[in-house]
Amino acid sequence: MKKNYILILCFSLCISGLNATVIKVDNNYPSIGDFTAIQAAHDAAANGDTILLTPSHIVYGGVTITKTIHLLGAGFATENSAILRAVVEGAILLNNGAYHSIIEGIDLRNHRITVDANDITIKRCKTQGIDVLTDHAGTIITGNEISCYDQSINAIIVEANNIVLIYNNLITSNSNGFNGYYTIRAYENVNISIYNNLISNYFTWNGIETLSININSNTNGFYNNIIFSGQTSGLYDPGYNICSGNQLPASNGNMINVDLNTVFVDYANGNYHLKPGSPAIGAGYDGLDIGVYGGVTPFVDGGYPSIPVIYSLEVPTTGSQQDGVKVTIKARSNQ
């Protein structure tokens, strides 16, 4: 437990210089937090406050956000089994009043995030899916691991009249495109940019791949992505993408029928870093790498937040007045 207290203390120190209040949520016993539930912390918060989740053995409940909040967790993976995550078992709803809110580093793997407000950023989270409801601008979806294995759910759905950026995400689904469910689905009058993602839909019917991407708007950009499986529909002039099959035309810098084992360090075991000599290196738009580790905001493994995090702390049980106590700390900073 001491290690988790040090972790949350590090978070607090890193953002204590901001004008906004940092509200700590901790459901451990004994608790070092201001609250034990996210919703209670939100209800007490003012616009611009940060709600900081303490890693715990106990899951947190979901939250409905109606204020400008930065909800900050410790990521969805750890490099040391002694350090816990802050897992949320419940939906996150961003409703009217939540504009400019940021959801970052949250482990929400069995639930979804629903956006019903303007200027929302969802960053470095693990979630079952993201729903952007009608009539919103400025939604940013970046650095997330989105895994949707329900055949009757879209991994990402963007309803009509939206402006959305989707970049540097791992997006996987088993959605039944034959019945109208996709990995990424966008409705009419949507301005959507999709770049530097890894996208797959593994659902098949009688050996036929289903639709993975279904865009019903002519205002879209699709480049520097890697498509593992699933077909596409509605993309306007996509460029500089890599496809495992013939999902895109072999023009405008697209590469089709690419053996993905030549692209990644270990494709079979989910290591999607580019291997030496990969055809994705420097082959993207503007000479950038194709895939989630390319572009100006590379994917951060584990979803660690953009503030320094202590992930290992070794403290001896004894010390001396002469030599003191020798503490070994390992930390990382992700921008």
Spatial distance between the Cα atoms of 112 and 293, rounded to a whole number of angstroms: 24
**Burial state string for 98-109 with b = 16 or more CB within 10 A and e = fewer than 16:** bbbbbbbbbbbb
Can you spell out the DSSP letters for 220-246? EEEES-EEEE-EEES-SS-BS-EESSS
Pairing outcome for strands 211-215 and 162-167? unpaired
Task: Give how far the C-alpha of residue 12 lies from the chain's centroid of Cα atoms, to the nearest Å.
Answer: 22
What element of type H or E holds 40? helix 38-44
Q: Where are the domains of the chain?
A: 53-332
Pairing outcome for strands 328-332 and 309-314? antiparallel
pLDDT in the model for residue 198: 97
Alpha-carbon distances, residue 283 vs 101, 128, 251, 278, 298 (angstroms):
34, 31, 13, 9, 16
**Residue 321: how many CB atoms within 10 A of its CB?**
5
Q: What is the DSSP letter of 88?
A: B
pLDDT in tens, 17-30: 446 799 999 998 88
**Burial state string for 229-248 with b = 16 or more CB within 10 A and e = fewer than 16:** bbbbeebeebbbbbbbeebb
Spatial contact of 203 and 176, defined as CB atoms under 8 Å apart: yes
pLDDT in the model for residue 148: 92
pLDDT in the model for residue 128: 95
pLDDT in the model for residue 220: 86
Taking 70 as the pLDDT cut, the residues of the chain under it are 1-19, 78-83, 307-335
264 - beta bridge partners? 274
pLDDT in tens, 215-241: 988 778 999 999 999 999 999 989 999
Structure tokens at 203: 């659902």
Based on its alpha-carbon atoms, the radius of gyration of the chain, rounded to whole angstroms, reads 21
